[in-house]
Every structure is written in C-alpha cells, then in structure tokens.
Amino acid sequence: MFRRKPKENKEFIPTRQEIRETSKLTAKDLLGGKVLSREGVIRQIPFLIFIAVLLLFYIANIYKGERIMGEIIGLEKEVRELRAEYSSTVFDRQQMSTQSEISKMVSEKGLPLLEAKTPPYKIVIEDQN
C-alpha cells in the first residue's frame, strides 16, 4: 500500500568492486593499526564502552558473590560450633539437675538442707458452698 522509495545518493553509488575492497580485513590491517582508524570501528565505540561497563559490573558481581559465599561459610562454621556448645551445655545442665548431683553440691557447700524422706503429696481443699 504505502511503499517507501529507497533513498538514492546520486553523487556516489559504490560499485561491487569498491564494496569488496572496503570489507576485506587482512592480518596486515590488524597488525598495522588500520582497523582502529576505520569509520566502522569508530561508530562502534559507544557499544564497546557499553560492553566494558557491563564487564566491570560482571567482575564486581563475581567478587561480591565470592565475598558473600565466604561469609556464609564462616557463619555455617560458627553455627556448627554454637550447636556443639549448646549440646554440651544442655548435657551438663541435665547432669547437674539430677537429685544425686544436687545433694552432693549441697553437702559440699555445707548448707543445712536435708533430703525429703517422704514423697510429696497433693493438698486438696474442698469447697465450703
């Protein structure tokens, strides 16, 4: 329906031979530095800068990830140590709270406490209603 007319540059129309000559890339051009002076590369500079910035973000992200993994490993080690300490503390508390250990500690400190000879009993109060 609506077709655009191709733009024609009437002053300069490259021939096939000229296009082939400008698109060839040889090792001599790479080593000689001609590649860096071409307009095609100059037009790509913003893209190259963008790629360089992305590369910097990528490297920073890798270092941050390694640092966080180091912190995680350190925290996991600390958790294991704290769990072991907790287990040993609970075991020690359980042993200290046995009746024989309590009576031994009371006798060592010379307290005038005696062990109950009769078992405990429940006191029941009846309602006076």
Look up residue 94 and give its two tokens.
Answer: 């359980």
Note whether 29 and 35 are within 8 A (CB). yes
Q: Considering the domain boundaries, does residue 11 fall inside one?
A: no
How many domains, in total, are found in the chain?
Answer: 1
Owner of token pair 């405990």: 120
Summarize the confidence of residues 95-106 as an average pLDDT: 87
The verdict on residue 122 lying in a domain is no
- Residue 107 reports pLDDT greater than 80: yes
Would residue 113 count as lying in a domain?
no
Range of the domain at 90: 16-107
- Say whether pTM exceeds 0.85: no
Residue at 20 is within a domain: yes
Q: Is residue 127 part of a domain?
A: no
| Confidence tier at 127 by pLDDT (50, 70, 90) | confident
Residue 55 lies in a domain: yes
On the question of pLDDT at 1 being above 60, the answer is: no
- Cα separation, 35 vs 45, whole angstroms: 13
pLDDT tens-digit series, residues 45-62: 889 999 999 999 999 999
Average pLDDT over residues 103-113: 87
Whether residue 41 contacts residue 35, with contact meaning beta carbons closer than 8 Å, is answered with yes
Structural domain contains residue 9: no
Per-residue model confidence (pLDDT) at position 20: 57
Q: 34: Cβ–Cβ under 8 A, 6 or more apart, which residues?
A: 28
Q: What is the DSSP string of 33-102?
A: THHHHSHHHHHTHHHHHHHHHHHHHHHHHHHHHHHHHHHHHHHHHHHHHHHHHHHHHHHHHHHHTSHHHH
